[in-house]
Structure 1
């Protein structure tokens, strides 16, 4: 599989691309990598995506630990190696256990999750697989996170689905990672 939208040499960037790239480099990500390499071809879209992602990843109402869990479920559902390579180590750093990460990678329901993790896992899985969320799972999420948290959880799933679609289409190469690649 060949990366279809490889990095554009910086000397070839337009002014709009340079500005959009600099915003990402100056932000919490600190570099232009992953989905932002193909997105650089549309600097305005990239800028909006970056700002949405910055909120959802770093400041959402469900917190970083649960956002990372939702990202992993999304990466697994979309067979997205780049998202997995980047976020599996981060998820472990913020408190998602290796057993939970491994079970998600194998498409198994993790056996030992905290209550909030179980609610996020069920919500994400239903949303991806069923294209909706059952009343029971919705009400569990609402009770734990409130309406803003439920909306932010939907947002994390939608945003990382968008990125997965971009990178799967671009065939973006996964970076070196301490995480094992997703199994076929």
Structure 2
């Protein structure tokens, strides 16, 4: 399938696009890639989205390891190859075990997870598949992460669902990655 919203050459950017792109390039991401390529068509939306994402990815109350785990569950639930290609290697780097990553890729519940990983996995899966979270899973997340952590976990799921919708619609091509693509 052809990428519907390919990169816009920098010389063709409007002033608003240039400013929004520069904010991303100057931030922790260091480059304009993935969902920000199609989002550049709406620079104000892109700017707001990237600030939300920067918080959720780098500073959320649940920490980077669990945020990355939630991103992988979201990527798998949305069959989102770009998110998977970018975040599977990062997840492994920050301590998510390779067998957990591989099980998520196969749409299987990982056999051996730490307690906090299992809570995040269950929370994300219920939220994506049932559009709500059971009392048991909510209470488990609340006990581990507090209210801010639960809200941030909801935020990670929502934000990466938004990015998955953008990239699935735009047919954004996955970058080269050390991670194997998600199986069909």
Match of 1:121 in 2: 121
Q: What is the distance in 1 between the residues matched to 2:35 and 2:167?
A: 6
The Cα shift of 1:3 comes to 0.2
Match of 1:100 in 2: 100
Match of 1:43 in 2: 43
Residues 124-162 of structure 1 deviation map (CA, whole Å, 9 limit, x = unaligned)? 000000000000000000000000000000000000000
Q: What is the distance in 1 between the residues matched to 2:72 and 2:6?
A: 24
Match of 2:175 in 1: 175
Counting only pairs closer than 5 Å after superposition, residues 145-160 of structure 1 correspond to structure 2 as 145-160=145-160
Q: What is the distance in 2 between the residues matched to 1:54 and 1:131?
A: 25
Aligned length: 184
2:182 matches 1:143: no
The Cα shift of 1:111 comes to 0.3
Superposition TM-score, scaled by structure 2 size: 1.00
SS of the equivalent of 2:69 reads helix
Counting only pairs closer than 5 Å after superposition, residues 28-67 of structure 1 correspond to structure 2 as 28-67=28-67
Tell me, which stretches of 5 or more residues in structure 2 are unaligned? none
Instruction: Give runs of ≥4 in structure 1 deviating > 3 Å.
Output: none
Q: What is the distance in 2 between the residues matched to 1:131 and 1:87?
A: 23
The Cα shift of 1:15 comes to 0.1
Q: What is the distance in 2 between the residues matched to 1:155 and 1:46?
A: 17
2:72 matches 1:75: no
Match of 1:162 in 2: 162
Tell me, which stretches of 5 or more residues in structure 1 are unaligned? none
Residues 38-70 of structure 1 deviation map (CA, whole Å, 9 limit, x = unaligned)? 000000000000000000000000000000000
Match of 1:17 in 2: 17
The Cα shift of 1:90 comes to 0.0
**RMSD across aligned C-alpha pairs, in angstroms?**
0.2
Match of 1:133 in 2: 133
Q: What is the distance in 2 between the residues matched to 1:168 and 1:125?
A: 19
